[in-house]
A and B are shown apart, each in its own frame.
Chain A
Amino acid sequence: MAGTILEAKGLSKSFDGMLAVDDVSFTIQRQEIFGLLGPNGAGKTTTIRMLATVLDADGGDVEIGGHSARRSSGQVRALIGLCPQELALYEELSALDNLVFFGRMAGLGSQEARVRAEENLQLVGLQDRAKGAVAKFSGGMKRRVNLAIALMGRPALLFLDEPTVGIDPQSRNHIFETILRLRDEGMSVLYTTHYMEEANRLCDRIAIIDNGRIIAIGTPVELKTELGDPAQVTLEEVFLHLTGRSLRD
C-alpha cells in the first residue's frame, strides 16, 4: 500500500486580486494522516477546495491516484471524499436519507447505497438514530453524519476540513477513533484543524500554512525539534513561533 496518493505541485489561487494560495506543493502518502494547519484565512480551505476539484487552480496542478485534477476530475472524484467545514446536510431529511442520497450521487445502486449508509451510521455510532431528522440532532451528531456522508464512496483519500469544530469531547473522541480506524484500513486523510493537540495526536505529518504559503512541513517531532527538545516543546509553541502572535481575521 506504500506510495503517494496525492501530489500537489505549485498550486495557486487568487480572489479579486488577492492571493489566497501561493505556490503550494506537498505530497500525501497512502495510509497517512496529513495535517494542514494554519491561522484563519491562511488558505487551508481554498487549498482543500482545489484538491477536491470544486475550485479550479489558477496555477499548478494536483494529482490524486495518478490522475490530474485539472484534466481528469471525474477519475479524481471517484477516489476522494470531502467532509467540509460547514454542515453540508439536508436537515429536513433523516440521517439515512442523507447518506443514501449522497451514496447514489457517488455512483452506488439503490440497495448498495442503503447497505453502505447503514454501515457508515454504525461506524459513527448513529445506527439507532438512522431515521431521525438531522434537524433534531446535536452539533456532535451532525458532525458525525457529515463524516459518514464523506465515506459513502469508500474514498482512498478523505478530506476533513475542521471536522471537530464546536462539539463535545465524547463526539470528538469518537471521530478521532473513526479516523484512526479508517487509516488502519488503508485510507489516507488530509486533516485541517485549529486544535494543536488534535494534530499532534492524529497526524503522521503536518504542514503549516500561512498567508497562502507552506512555511513548514514534517512530522510533529521534526517540527518540535526545530524549536528545542520535542519532549518539552508543544506543537502550539511551534505554530505560534512560525505564524506569529498577532491576531488574524
Chain B
Amino acid sequence: MFRPLHIALLETKRFLLDRGDLAFSLALPVVLFALMYGTFGGGESFNGTAHFVDLDGGPAAKLLVESLSDIDGIDVEMHSLEDADQGLDRSSFLSVAVIPEGFSEALDDGEQTSLTFRQRGSGGNESQIINGIIRAITQEMAGEAQVYSVVREVIGESSLPASQVNQAVFTSLAEAHQSPSVVVRSIDVGGASAEVLHRLLPGILVMFLLFAVSLGSQALVEERRIGTLERLLTTRLSLNQLFAGRFLAGVSRAMVQAVVLLGLAFVVLQVGGASVFVQTLIFCVLVAAAVSAVSLLIGTLARSRDQATWSAVFFTMFMTVFGGTFFEVGNTGALAFLSKFTINKYAIDALEGLVSGAEGLSTQGPEAAIIAGVAVASLLFARLAFRTGVGGR
C-alpha cells in the first residue's frame, strides 16, 4: 500500500540530490522572483539627482535647495558654473538649474527674478521630472514672497512694526500649508503593479509546473534504459503500484518549484494572506497532477531521451504561448480558440482569481474539472501504454 509513496519519496530525494536539476528548479524561481520583486516590490516610484549652481547664496536659494533635497528619492548636487558647463559638455548630467545673483533679494522685494535651466537637448526624462518639481517649488516660493510684499505694501503706512507683520504673514502661510484649501488625495485601488503581479504570478507558476513535464518524462525514459523499472518489477511491486509511484513522484517534483516560488511571492511581496496561499497551493497540486500524468504519457510513448525531451518542450511551449501565460488572449480569434486546448488557460484563470483573493476554491469548479479531466485521461492512456522495458510488461 505504501510502496508508491516510497517510490515518490525516492524520486524526490534523487531530484533534490541532483545538483543540475536542483539549480534549474530552485535557482530559476528565485531569479524570476527577484525580477518580479525588482519590478513590483520597490517602495519609491522615482529616484533622481537635481544639479544646482547657486550664484545667489541667499536664504531663498538655500530654501529652494533644501526643499528639493527633503523630497524622498531626490538627491541634490551643487556645482560651480564652470563645473556645471563641463559636466553638461561631458554629458555627466543633462540639466542644471542656475540660481542667479540677487535671487533672494528680488524675491524679498517682490520683484521679478528668474531661474535658468541649462540642459542638453530635452534634458531626458529624469531632468524633466526634477525640473517640473523645481518649478513648482519656485512658484510656491514666489507666491509666498508676493503675499509678503503685498501685505507690507498695504499696511506700509501703518504704525505696525515690520517684524510683527512678517510674523503674522508667516503664521498665516504655515496654517495654509497645514490645512490647504485644496486637498489632493491618492486612493489605492490595487494599482497597475498589483494587477500585473496578479496576472504574472499565475503565469510563471504554471510555467514552472509545466517544466516538470520535461523532467518527469526524461526520468522515466532514463530509468527504462538503465533497467531500474524492470528490476522493480521482479520485486513484489505490482505494475499498478509502480505506475502510481511514478505519478506521485511527478507531482512532488512539480510541487518543489511551485512551493518555492509561491512561498517567496507570498512572504516577500505579500500577495495575500494564509488562506489565499493555502487555496492557491491546493490548486497547484491539481495542476501538478495533470502535469505528472502528461509527463508519464510522454515518457511512456517516447522511445528515447531525445524524443521525450523534444515532445515535452513542444508541449510546454504550446501551452505557454497559446495559453495566455504572459498576455491576454481575448475571447475571439485564432489565439482564443487555440487557448482552449491548453492547460494554462484554465489554470491561469483559476489562479488569477485565487491569487488576487477575489475568488475562492469553491468557484473554480469548471477549471478544476477540465484540469482533472486532463489528468485522468492522460493517466488512462499512459497506463494502457506503460512499459518498463523493450517489449516488457
CB within 8 Å of B: which residues of A?
Answer: 15, 49, 52-56, 74, 77-78, 80-82, 84-90, 92-93, 97, 101-102, 104-107, 133, 149, 153
Contacts and interface: CB of A to CB of B under 8 A. Distances in A.
B392 A49 contact: yes
Contacts of A90: 10, 14, 228
20 contacts: A15-B391, A53-B234, A54-B233, A54-B393, A74-B236, A74-B238, A77-B234, A77-B236, A81-B234, A84-B227, A84-B230, A84-B231, A87-B227, A89-B226, A89-B228, A90-B228, A93-B14, A101-B10, A105-B3, A153-B236
A105 B18 CA distance: 23
B226 A54 contact: no
A246 to B, nearest CB: 26
Nearest to B15: A92
B6 interface: yes
Contacts of B389: 49, 54-55
Contact of A153 (B14, B226, B235): B235
A249 B309 CA distance: 30
B17 A92 contact: yes
A203 B230 CA distance: 26
A42 B165 CA distance: 116
Contacts of B237: 105
A54 B14 contact: no
Closest 10 CB pairs of A and B: A88-B227, A86-B227, A105-B235, A82-B234, A88-B231, A92-B17, A106-B235, A107-B236, A88-B228, A84-B227
B13 interface: yes
B232 interface: yes
Given A88-B226, A93-B13, A93-B14, A105 B232 contact: yes
B95 interface: no
Prevailing SS type, chain A contact patch: loop
B280 interface: no
Prevailing SS type, chain B contact patch: loop
B218 interface: no
B388 interface: yes
B332 to A, nearest CB: 49
Given A90-B228, A106-B235, 6 more contacts: A80-B234, A89-B228, A93-B17, A101-B6, A149-B231, A153-B236
Contacts of B234: 52-54, 77, 80-82
Given A53-B233, A105-B6, A87 B226 contact: yes
Contacts of B227: 84-88
A204 B61 CA distance: 108
Contacts of B10: 90, 93, 101
A85 B389 CA distance: 13
A148 to B, nearest CB: 13
B239 to A, nearest CB: 10
Contact of A104 (B6, B17, B18, B231): B6
Nearest to B236: A107
Interface string B186-227: 000000000000000000000000000000000000000011
A92 B230 contact: no
Nearest to A84: B227
Contacts of B14: 90, 92-93
Interface string B62-81: 00000000000000000000
Nearest to A20: B391
Contacts of B231: 82, 84, 88, 102, 149
A88 B3 CA distance: 19
Contact of A106 (B13, B236, B238, B392): B236
B392 A77 contact: no
Interface string B363-392: 000000000000000000000000011111
A229 B24 CA distance: 65
A92 B18 contact: yes
Contacts of A54: 230, 233-234, 388-389, 392-393
B62 to A, nearest CB: 68
Residue of B6, B227, B390 with most partner-chain A CB within 10 A:
B227
A54 to B, nearest CB: 5
A209 to B, nearest CB: 18
